């Protein structure tokens, strides 16, 4: 036996049996009539006597004791009390039951002198409308302890947790437990509903959870529920340990403390909730090796960590105040050999994480849901107060709901980073890494977007370079600090606001920001080509070490223009609205803003720039070694007759249409 704190330590039990005095007198407490009675066969150790009254029985002890019951049952309104007397303190009282399930409808109490109260009934225990109060620790178990030996306890040789292949359960409903110390329920099956348990810690153990129980010959399957909590209220830290079999929380509930779950089976937390929220006021740490793991409609006031070695992990409509981590790899538990399965992480519904959200999957990651009945993608939104990092090793990263975060990093080592073409990512900074096409999916005659999303993910269809009709990863604006793809792959990104690209190692990058500002800057931007899509308000491109081709369309003749890597961009620039300077330009600012319509002769400038500065040809800005290219929507543009001197002054007036003005290369019709 290892680290059992006050739980039946070898020292305590040595004291029990070294000093035990055996009494063979049968005692009928007068309780439990009509449901099997409460009859004592014999007692060992420090048992003093029994005092009975109307609907009550007091068992008095002056030392550690073992009470062997022929049957132990309580009717509603009856009370069984365990009392330490004669100044005795910190006593361990072991109760073992021989016949029938114990049915407890009344009260069980233990005073402050009882350090630990144990009830063992291999036939099962039912608490229904019961009240259980102890000042110390308590344990209820279906483990047979009637022939308890010290060597059995220390060598973990208990085996009879199952009988004829059926779970022998402890059942709790509509009951209240007030435990001053730690409370352990140890059984082959635990089913608790609509009850309140208050203790320092609550341990729900179906095997091996405290290093002193071993499984019997017959074991449940991984998807068989062995521990179920329905609308429970638990005040204290909750520890759930299943060697095999599933753990389930149904219809909400509250845990005022930390939660730790360790199981080799499934974990299904509030998937069936009837609209009732599961509230956990503390850190939540869940590790399982079953084929399924769920957390739905829940609030976590703390950190959340869920790790599945078996495959599917699904969270939805949850609120986490601190960090959240979702993992489906390298999380095996003891004595389990999982069959190889494809792993899948779903983040669905209205989900909020106050801190960072880290998603790490061996296979697929889907930020979004799918309604299998209607064959449609489900609605929702993911909001992350910190950074979102989603990393898939051998699967896709797919986004089909809107996402808000401080920083968004989406990476797939061997597959794709994709969206449904509708979801919008909103962050200050973005990182994208894909082993192939990086972009959105669009409908075809043969398959709609929803069906295509599911088909690509479930069948692990790798898209090496591009799709027939590409779509976009939609961002709200910000900085793209990483775009990593193979050199033959295409990337499609559309920004609703100003966007800056500061890092890339990619093939073809297609970036669009209609009516907004695009800047491509820094020494870490590398690609085969960058295509600027749609009409932008301003495009700024760095000169130094530029090794990508830049593509756009000349607005004058609607022809594609390619500027090769390291080729110096030398466009004539003009500042003006309707063909002349509006007076709002900042000296030295380089723009291409020109007005549509016929040439307008401006009124004389009341404060003209001295002669020689009226018309200027600007090759580039010497301050930032870049060129700015304002995009316009009109097919006709009037610009200035520019001179090559005085490069720092703004243009005063436009006299003809001889200057080349650009707009973006239209990549998607």
Per-residue pLDDT at 216? 36
Which tokens is 467 given?
């799709």
- DSSP-based helix, strand, coil % in the chain, nearest 5: 5, 45, 50
Q: Contact, 109 vs 81, CB < 8 A?
A: yes
Q: Which residues of the chain have pLDDT under 50?
A: 1-23, 149-165, 208-222, 331-340, 555-556, 570-605, 608-669
What is the DSSP annotation of 239-271?
EEEESSSEEEEEEEEEEES-EEEEESS-EEESS
Taking all residues of the chain, what is their mean pLDDT, rounded to a whole number? 77
Q: Contact, 448 vs 498, CB < 8 A?
A: no
Per-residue pLDDT at 518? 86
Contacts 24+ apart (CB under 8 A), 274-280: 276/231, 276/251, 276/252, 277/252, 278/249, 278/252, 278/253, 278/254, 279/252, 279/253, 279/254, 279/255, 280/254, 280/255
Neighbouring residues of 82: CB distance < 8 A, sequence distance ≥ 6 = 59, 61, 93, 108, 109, 110, 111, 114, 117
Burial label, 254 (beta-carbon count in 10 A; 0-12, 13-18, 19+): middle
Q: What is the pTM of this model?
A: 0.81
129: region left, alpha or beta (phi > 0 left; psi from -120 to 50 alpha): left
| pLDDT-above-90 percentage for the chain | 51
Helix (H, G, I), strand (E, B) or coil at 456: helix
Q: CA Rg, the chain, in Å?
A: 36
Residue 57: C-alpha distances to residues 60, 211, 645 (Å): 10, 35, 109
Per-residue pLDDT at 501? 96
Rounded (5°) CA angle 635-640-646: 140
Q: Which residue's entry shows tokens 């309604």?
A: 371
Helix (H, G, I), strand (E, B) or coil at 12: helix
Q: Can you give the length of the chain in residues?
A: 669
């Amino acid at each position: 036996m290892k680290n059992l704190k006050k739980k039946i330590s070898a020292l305590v039990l040595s004291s029990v049996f070294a000093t035990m005095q055996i009494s063979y007198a049968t005692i009928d407490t007068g309780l439990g009539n009509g449901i099997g009675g409460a009859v004592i066969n014999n007692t060992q150790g420090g048992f003093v006597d029994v005092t009975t009254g109307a609907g009550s029985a007091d068992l008095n002890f002056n030392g550690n004791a073992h009470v062997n019951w022929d049957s132990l049952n309580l009717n509603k309104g009856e009370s069984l009390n365990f009392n330490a007397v004669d100044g005795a303190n910190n006593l361990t009282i072991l109760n073992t039951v021989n016949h029938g399930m114990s049915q407890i409808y009344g009260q069980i109490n233990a005073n402050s002198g009882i350090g630990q109260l144990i009830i063992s009934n291999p036939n099962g225990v039912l608490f229904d409308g019961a009240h259980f109060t102890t000042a110390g620790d308590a344990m209820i178990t279906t483990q047979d302890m009637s022939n308890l030996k010290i060597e059995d306890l220390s060598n973990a040789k208990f085996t009879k947790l199952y009988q004829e292949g059926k779970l022998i359960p402890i059942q709790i409903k509509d009951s209240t437990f007030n435990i001053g110390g730690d409370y352990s329920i140890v059984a082959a099956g635990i089913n608790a509903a609509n009850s309140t348990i208050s203790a320092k810690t609550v341990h729900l153990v179906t095997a091996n959870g405290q290093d002193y129980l071993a499984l019997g010959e017959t074991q449940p399957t991984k998807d068989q529920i062995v521990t179920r909590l329905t609308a429970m209220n638990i005040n204290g830290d909750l520890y759930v340990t299943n060697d095999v079999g599933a753990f389930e929380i149904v219809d909400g509930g509250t845990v005022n403390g930390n939660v730790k779950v360790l199981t080799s089976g499934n974990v299904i937390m509030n998937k069936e909730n009837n609209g009732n929220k599961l509230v956990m006021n503390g850190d939540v740490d869940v590790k399982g090796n079953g084929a399924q793991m769920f957390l739905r409609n829940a609030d976590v006031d703390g950190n959340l960590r869920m790790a599945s070695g078996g495959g599917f992990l699904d969270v939805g409509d949850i609120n986490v105040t601190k960090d959240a981590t979702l993992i489906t790899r390298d999380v095996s538990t003891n004595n389990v050999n999982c069959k190889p399965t494809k792993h899948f992480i779903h983040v669905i519904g209205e989900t909020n994480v106050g801190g960072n959200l880290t998603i790490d999957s061996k296979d697929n990651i889907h930020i979004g849901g799918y309604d299998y009945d209607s064959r449609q993608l489900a609605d929702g939104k993911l909001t992350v107060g910190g950074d979102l990092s989603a990393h898939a090793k051998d699967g896709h990263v797919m986004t089909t709901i809107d996402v808000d975060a401080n920083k968004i990093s989406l990476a797939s080592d061997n597959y794709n980073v994709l969206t449904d073409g509708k979801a919008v990512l909103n962050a200050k900074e973005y990182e994208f890494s894909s082993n192939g096409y990086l972009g959105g999916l669009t409908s075809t005659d043969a398959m709609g977007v929803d069906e295509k999303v599911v088909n690509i993910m479930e069948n692990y269809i790798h898209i090496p370079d591009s799709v027939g009709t590409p779509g976009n990863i939609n961002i709200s604006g910000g900085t793209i600090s990483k775009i990593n793809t193979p050199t033959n792959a295409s990337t499609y990104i559309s920004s609703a606001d100003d966007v800056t690209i500061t890092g890339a190692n990619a093939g073809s990058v297609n970036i669009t920001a209609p009516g907004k500002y695009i800047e491509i800057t820094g020494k870490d931007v590398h690609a085969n080509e960058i295509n600027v899509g749609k009409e932008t308000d301003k495009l700024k491109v760095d000169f130094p070490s530029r090794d990508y081709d830049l593509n756009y369309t000349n607005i004058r003749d609607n022809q594609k223009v390619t500027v090769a890597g390291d080729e110096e961009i030398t466009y004539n620039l003009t500042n003006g609205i309707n063909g002349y300077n509006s007076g709002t330009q900042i000296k030295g600012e380089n723009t291409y803003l020109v007005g549509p319509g016929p040439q307008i002769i401006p009124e004389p400038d009341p404060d003209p720039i001295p002669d020689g500065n009226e018309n200027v040809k600007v090759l580039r800005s010497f301050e930032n070694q870049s060129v700015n290219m304002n995009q316009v929507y009109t097919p006709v543009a009037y610009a200035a007759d520019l001179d090559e001197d005085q490069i720092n002054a703004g243009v005063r007036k436009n006299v003809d249409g001889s200057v080349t003005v650009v707009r973006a290369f239209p990549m998607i019709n």
